[in-house]
Chains A and B, each alone.
Chain A
Amino acid sequence: MTTTRSLAIGLVVVLPGACSQSLKLAKDDSPTVLSHQTITAPNPGEPGPFRVKRMYYGSGTDKQRREYRDSVTIRTRTVDVSPYATVGPQQVADRKKWWGFDMKKVPLNGRVWYPEGDGPFPLVLVVHGNHNPEDFSDPGYGYLGELLASRGFILVSVDENFINGLSGENDGRAWLMLKHLEQWKHFNDSAGSPFHHRVDMNNIAVMGHSRGGEAAPLTAAFNRLKYYPDDAKEKFNFGYSIKAVVAIAPVDGQYKAASQYTPLENVNYLVIHGSHDGDVTNFNGLRQYERLRFTDGKPWFKSAMFMYRANHGQWNTVWGNKDNGPRSGRFLDLRALIEPEAQRQFAKVVISAFLEATLHGKREYLPLFRDHRTAGAWLPKTMYTTRFGESGYHPLAEYDEDIDLTTGTTHGVVLAGDSLATWKENVLPFRGRGGEDQKHNAVWLGWNNHIAGTDTTKLGKPASYSITLPDSVLSAWRVSEQGAVYLSVAATNDKPAPRAVARDTTKKDSTKADSAKKKAAPPKPPPKKKEVPDSTPLELSVELIDAAGNTAKLPLSRYGVLRRPLDTRVYRRAGRDTQRFATIFELIPQTFVLPLADFARSAPPFAPERLRTIRLVFDRSVAGTVVVTDIGVSTPADPAFLAAPVP
């Protein structure tokens, strides 16, 4: 009896501990990587000079929220969102009872933070994502409202709580955003409105979180259409001047207009996502980032930022760390999360900088998006992986166009590998199981400069991978010293075996002479020790060669850190991450922007305007595998992008 009781007590004590895993985090390199601050402008995450005012607009009849019933400064009409958001028959009655309205009469409610002054001030709309409809999400962006209003923006947190709990409704979310913009045009145009001529309707940004993060680019896409793509009976007449789109931990493809992922053109785009997102576990916004095209010759840019230890909910103060519902602590390893204030400070810095750059024209913030190390003093101390692109960029090799390893994206570009152990092209995966991928390809390049044999110090010629440009593109693209080479690279943990000894063809093949020797069993190799993944960042050189054969070579590490994959354990239960994810990291190539002027300075005979070959030389790490994509050259539309270099 005593034994049984002891066993039972033991089980109760031991089981909870045995099932949870210990906290595992990648080694933080921020003390080194974020040790510089080369942008000299004021911190965009700090309040600006304007006094902040607050107000509500809406139906004035809200059953559930006093602010939209008793405190509205401006009353707005209701709209019919039913063509874009379908409610199941069982939900209709419940929703009508709770909200007091159905989808045919939804309110246009918004909480507004705005600067005191005459303006006109740029307008920024933010919309929440899916969450418990009764736990109202729209107050959760107050931290952005206070900051942005103090810096001269009008921020509106749009109420779409009544649309939460549905599925396939992201088109409805986007359409409602446009109806709010319609309302704001009316506020700006109406003589009696408190916002009469105080709204800069030529500078508008739309921002969204989670499902709202898909709705934001969809808003920009719908904005330019004449008809609802799924039904021409619904006519659109918007055409607002949306200059910028911000997506916070967005979903992607939950709504597909005409069964297509949302195409997007000619707008500035920022997407941020956390590594420890327990809800949207894939960095889905990378797909929208890749789909964005700049075609009109205007100076647009796009940026994707991945924050280590950030989750899904802490971008919203209402959602917090409950990515998996009220009992998230039972599913998710909350110990791994960065402090909520630090996560939101990152959002404040990058969103504010992005809006300052795109709506206020403050170009001094542009370098932050080229290389986040330029803002080491502003960013919370954790690790970031960033992507960047701008409208001056011309692709050489993006790996989506064909199955030929030797051809690039632009006609005439030739790709070649030398002494590589791995050379293959494939689609960039997401970490989640289930076949979801980034809808974008890359090349896998593996090398090991060691020569197989007993002499472990013997190294062969460094492996390399080269991209050769045809003459025609250089003049067409006006490549010059003001330009830059772009490439996006991710290191992996894969390490190829040592290179085989080159066969000496001058010697007679002795193996044929002694078949007995050939058949002798090879000695048994010693048992392999379990290899601990090397956490040292990979290093490689980028060598540029001009038409005259002049070369200039610089280390890639000068332009960013090529760190190993970031170990990311989202779940609390031991083994759950490996069960639910194909890998315990998200494979995100870091964009490196290498100014051609740096190469010209390092080796003066080299002439950037006659650039012929870009060569990745694997001479700084003996062995490794990298994933490379988006190799190109650019003469940035705005030279400010290349400013504030990190020493």
Chain B
Amino acid sequence: MRSLLIVCACAWASSLHAQVEAPPTGPLALLLPASTRAMALGNAGVTGRDDDVIFYNPAQLVNVRGGFNASLARYGPASSLGAMSSSFTGGPLSLGWGVQAVSYSTRRSTYPFTPDVLTDRGSIAAFSMVAAVGAATTYKGFKIGTAAKYAEDRVSNGTVLRGPAELVSGMAAFDVGVAHNLWTGVAGLAVQNIGRNAPGNKPTSESPLQASLGWSVIKQVGELDVGFAAQLTSRRGWISPGAGLEAGYNWIEGYSLALRAGARRPETSAERPFSVGAAFNADRLALEYATQFFDGGRTANRMTLRWR
């Protein structure tokens, strides 16, 4: 544990010398948190344990707490995000799928957009989505997985996205990941968005090719279940460390409450590094909530309803 903290501290220190803001990449849907739990934990989701881990590390689909997730998020007055994911295991293979889409409007005319654009309101209607299917299995004690996905950004010169809006960026890509138990927790490595961004009618953007290395653990500490997740993401020279802490309390079999907090290096200076969240579990039903902070007191709120 101590060594891990040292590694995290070193990673954080090294990231100070890296680029302060993330390089411009797209589509936007690939840059957004795709899990309410991960969003609350500093977007450290590479060792996640729910269906939505398909957006972070397909290897973790093995032994995932299968079920169905549906998430809704509001980033600003004109943006709505929806996401769904599910997984199941058949024989040696674990399979999963997920879709995340966001509709918003903005005043900005420069593309690619950064996540803080979602807190905006403007005359340009826009839409971004990502859809992924993945499979994972265990090989010699290592969980390995891959996911194929398609992501795109569309914009329209009106306040409402009508008909076949203009495609500004679209890409087919794949992710690969590996995970293994380490130091009573789980370590995971994922390389994501391997693929080329197809040129659209607007200025093209680079794909957000990134590698994430993370570790997480859950321990019983007295009456609490304490979880810790840390992750280091490198995207085209920009390094973002992130970590989060979770404290859960289960007072009777099947019911639990959890509080979460996380920090990470954000994509832009308009985003605050901190995020918080909470979860309530009642048997197979889980309700999760997370808030991410932006400058000017703006917040993004995300909620997930999960059926396991």
Question: Residues of A at under 8 Å CB distance from B?
Answer: 15-16, 19-20, 90, 326-327, 330-331, 571-573, 576
For the complex, give the distance between the alpha carbons of A573 and B254 in Å.
9
10 shortest interchain CB distances as A-B pairs:
A331-B253, A573-B253, A19-B252, A16-B251, A330-B252, A330-B253, A20-B252, A573-B252, A19-B255, A330-B250
Residues of A within 8 Å of B19, CB to CB, are: none
Residues of A within 8 Å of B252, CB to CB, are: 16, 19-20, 330, 572-573
B220-256 to A contact mask, C-beta < 8 Å, 1/0:
1001000000000000000000000000001111110
Q: Which B residue sits closest to A20, measured CB to CB? A: B252
| Other A-B pairs beyond A330-B250, A330-B253, A576-B253, 17, CB < 8 Å | A16-B251, A16-B252, A16-B255, A19-B252, A19-B255, A90-B141, A326-B220, A327-B220, A327-B223, A327-B250, A330-B251, A331-B253, A571-B253, A572-B252, A572-B253, A573-B252, A573-B254
Residues of A within 8 Å of B141, CB to CB, are: 90
For the complex, give the distance between the alpha carbons of A276 and B141 in Å.
39
Residues of A within 8 Å of B251, CB to CB, are: 16, 330
Residues of B within 8 Å of A331, CB to CB, are: 253
Q: Is the CB of B254 within 8 A of A19?
A: yes
Q: Which A residue sits closest to B257, measured CB to CB? A: A12
Q: Which B residue sits closest to A574, measured CB to CB? A: B252
B252-271 to A contact mask, C-beta < 8 Å, 1/0:
11110000000000000000
B275 nearest CB across to chain A (Å): 21
Residues of B within 8 Å of A326, CB to CB, are: 220
Residues of B within 8 Å of A16, CB to CB, are: 251-252, 255
Q: Kindly identify, within residues 180 to 220 of chain B, every residue whose CB is under 8 Å from any CB belonging to chain A.
A: 220
For the complex, give the distance between the alpha carbons of A20 and B220 in Å.
23
B83-126 to A contact mask, C-beta < 8 Å, 1/0:
00000000000000000000000000000000000000000000
5 contacts between A and B (CB under 8 A): A19-B252, A90-B141, A327-B223, A573-B252, A576-B253
Residues of B within 8 Å of A20, CB to CB, are: 252
For the complex, give the distance between the alpha carbons of A572 and B141 in Å.
37
Residues of A within 8 Å of B254, CB to CB, are: 19, 573
Residues of A within 8 Å of B250, CB to CB, are: 327, 330
A162 nearest CB across to chain B (Å): 20
Q: Which A residue sits closest to B255, measured CB to CB? A: A19
For the complex, give the distance between the alpha carbons of A572 and B253 in Å.
8
Size category of the B interface is: under 10
A580 nearest CB across to chain B (Å): 11
For the complex, give the distance between the alpha carbons of A439 and B252 in Å.
35
Q: Which B residue sits closest to A16, measured CB to CB? A: B251
Residues of B within 8 Å of A576, CB to CB, are: 253
Residues of A within 8 Å of B223, CB to CB, are: 327
Q: Which B residue sits closest to A15, measured CB to CB? A: B255
A5 nearest CB across to chain B (Å): 15
Q: Which B residue sits closest to A332, measured CB to CB? A: B253
For the complex, give the distance between the alpha carbons of A571 and B252 in Å.
10
Q: Which A residue sits closest to B254, measured CB to CB? A: A573
A553 nearest CB across to chain B (Å): 51
Q: Which A residue sits closest to B250, measured CB to CB? A: A330
B143 nearest CB across to chain A (Å): 14
Residues of B within 8 Å of A571, CB to CB, are: 253
Residue among B223, B253, B255 having the largest count of chain A Cβ atoms under 10 Å: B253
Residue among B250, B251, B252 having the largest count of chain A Cβ atoms under 10 Å: B252
B217 nearest CB across to chain A (Å): 16
For the complex, give the distance between the alpha carbons of A327 and B250 in Å.
9
Residues of B within 8 Å of A572, CB to CB, are: 252-253
A527 nearest CB across to chain B (Å): 34
For the complex, give the distance between the alpha carbons of A573 and B256 in Å.
13
Q: Which B residue sits closest to A326, measured CB to CB? A: B220
For the complex, give the distance between the alpha carbons of A19 and B220 in Å.
23
For the complex, give the distance between the alpha carbons of A576 and B254 in Å.
11
For the complex, give the distance between the alpha carbons of A573 and B141 in Å.
37
Q: Which A residue sits closest to B251, measured CB to CB? A: A16
B59 nearest CB across to chain A (Å): 19
Residues of B within 8 Å of A327, CB to CB, are: 220, 223, 250
For the complex, give the distance between the alpha carbons of A326 and B225 in Å.
13
Residues of B within 8 Å of A330, CB to CB, are: 250-253
Residues of B within 8 Å of A15, CB to CB, are: 255
Q: Which A residue sits closest to B141, measured CB to CB? A: A90
For the complex, give the distance between the alpha carbons of A16 and B253 in Å.
10
For the complex, give the distance between the alpha carbons of A20 and B255 in Å.
11
For the complex, give the distance between the alpha carbons of A531 and B260 in Å.
49
Residue among B220, B223, B250, B255 having the largest count of chain A Cβ atoms under 10 Å: B255
For the complex, give the distance between the alpha carbons of A19 and B253 in Å.
9
Residues of A within 8 Å of B220, CB to CB, are: 326-327
B168 nearest CB across to chain A (Å): 40
Residues of A within 8 Å of B253, CB to CB, are: 330-331, 571-573, 576
For the complex, give the distance between the alpha carbons of A19 and B283 in Å.
11
For the complex, give the distance between the alpha carbons of A179 and B126 in Å.
77
For the complex, give the distance between the alpha carbons of A571 and B254 in Å.
12
For the complex, give the distance between the alpha carbons of A326 and B221 in Å.
11
For the complex, give the distance between the alpha carbons of A310 and B161 in Å.
68
Q: Which B residue sits closest to A11, measured CB to CB? A: B280
For the complex, give the distance between the alpha carbons of A308 and B223 in Å.
30
For the complex, give the distance between the alpha carbons of A19 and B254 in Å.
9
A15 nearest CB across to chain B (Å): 7
Q: Kindly identify, within residues 129 to 144 of chain B, every residue whose CB is under 8 Å from any CB belonging to chain A.
A: 141
For the complex, give the distance between the alpha carbons of A327 and B223 in Å.
8
For the complex, give the distance between the alpha carbons of A571 and B223 in Å.
19
Q: Which B residue sits closest to A576, measured CB to CB? A: B253
Residues of B within 8 Å of A573, CB to CB, are: 252-254
For the complex, give the distance between the alpha carbons of A423 and B236 in Å.
80
B251 nearest CB across to chain A (Å): 5
For the complex, give the distance between the alpha carbons of A16 and B251 in Å.
7
Residues of B within 8 Å of A90, CB to CB, are: 141
Q: Which A residue sits closest to B256, measured CB to CB? A: A330
For the complex, give the distance between the alpha carbons of A331 and B251 in Å.
9
A173 nearest CB across to chain B (Å): 28
A326 nearest CB across to chain B (Å): 7
For the complex, give the distance between the alpha carbons of A331 and B253 in Å.
5
Residues of A within 8 Å of B255, CB to CB, are: 15-16, 19
Q: Which B residue sits closest to A331, measured CB to CB? A: B253
For the complex, give the distance between the alpha carbons of A331 and B254 in Å.
9
For the complex, give the distance between the alpha carbons of A324 and B220 in Å.
15
B258 nearest CB across to chain A (Å): 14
A562 nearest CB across to chain B (Å): 35
For the complex, give the distance between the alpha carbons of A327 and B253 in Å.
10
For the complex, give the distance between the alpha carbons of A611 and B141 in Å.
70
For the complex, give the distance between the alpha carbons of A20 and B251 in Å.
10
B283 nearest CB across to chain A (Å): 10
For the complex, give the distance between the alpha carbons of A330 and B224 in Å.
12
For the complex, give the distance between the alpha carbons of A20 and B141 in Å.
40
For the complex, give the distance between the alpha carbons of A20 and B250 in Å.
13
For the complex, give the distance between the alpha carbons of A266 and B181 in Å.
50
B191 nearest CB across to chain A (Å): 27
B285 nearest CB across to chain A (Å): 13
Residues of B within 8 Å of A19, CB to CB, are: 252, 254-255
For the complex, give the distance between the alpha carbons of A571 and B253 in Å.
9
For the complex, give the distance between the alpha carbons of A576 and B141 in Å.
35
Q: Which A residue sits closest to B225, measured CB to CB? A: A327
For the complex, give the distance between the alpha carbons of A394 and B43 in Å.
73
For the complex, give the distance between the alpha carbons of A573 and B251 in Å.
11
A568 nearest CB across to chain B (Å): 17
For the complex, give the distance between the alpha carbons of A118 and B113 in Å.
91
Q: Which B residue sits closest to A12, measured CB to CB? A: B257
A300 nearest CB across to chain B (Å): 43
B223 nearest CB across to chain A (Å): 8
B102 nearest CB across to chain A (Å): 26
B114 nearest CB across to chain A (Å): 33
For the complex, give the distance between the alpha carbons of A326 and B223 in Å.
10
For the complex, give the distance between the alpha carbons of A572 and B250 in Å.
13
B100 nearest CB across to chain A (Å): 28
For the complex, give the distance between the alpha carbons of A580 and B102 in Å.
44
For the complex, give the distance between the alpha carbons of A20 and B252 in Å.
8
A310 nearest CB across to chain B (Å): 21
